[in-house]
Amino acid sequence: MSEIDIETETSTGWLADDALAMVRANVPIVYVDAVPVRVDSLGNVIEVGMLLRVAADGTISRMVVTGRVLFNERVREALMRHCEKDLGPLAFPRVPANPTPFTVVEYFPDPDRSGFYDPRHHAVSLAYVVPVEGECEPTQEALDLRWFSPEEAVGQEVRESMTSGHDRLIRLALAHVGKLP
């Protein structure tokens, strides 16, 4: 077996582009998916937030907050970082101190393998419903952020604007919180 020299910037947890490409081709990557929601005073989900952005397959799609967990980063920290990055610094997500995912999603380069698709690699994602209390303003990576009622979020128009299986993830999230219409 040949020796592979992979340099990791340990202070940030990032790999160089060529090293990341090699890892993506050979090792599943750990991700987090966060379904941002707004809740009423009783904690019932009343709106689901979805970003409009360029997906990994190159399409412009509605999707949830998603991203890698960096080396030496706790899952909770990754959730907070991605929520702040995608929803803006004033979103104020409420991530529990010890988060437990509502499901685990596996993304594959083959869209028929699991229904969740990422052409770049095999990724294992821990999925969370994350209540958001503040004002959201999507950052430069997102083209738009829109809030949908649970009924709209699983409606045909929104489902058709999603790729990579995120429409299934929204349905799973709403079922988890008892709001799947």
What CATH code is carried by the domain that includes residue 100?
A: 3.90.79.10
- Tell me, yes or no, whether 13 lies in a domain: no
Q: pLDDT-derived band of residue 1, with 50, 70 and 90 as boundaries?
A: very low
* 61-79: pLDDT as tens digits: 999 999 999 989 999 999 9
Averaged pLDDT, 95-123: 93
For residue 11, the model assigns a pLDDT of: 56
Averaged pLDDT, 131-150: 90
Give CB contacts under 8 A, 24+ apart, made by 77-86: 78/32, 79/32, 79/34, 79/128, 79/130, 82/32, 82/34, 83/34, 83/36, 83/130, 83/132, 85/139, 85/141, 86/51, 86/138, 86/139, 86/141, 86/142, 86/145
- Is the pLDDT at 10 greater than 70? The verdict is no
Containing structural domain, residue 32: 28-176
Q: How many domains does the chain have?
A: 1
- Tell me, yes or no, whether 114 lies in a domain: yes
For residue 13, the model assigns a pLDDT of: 64
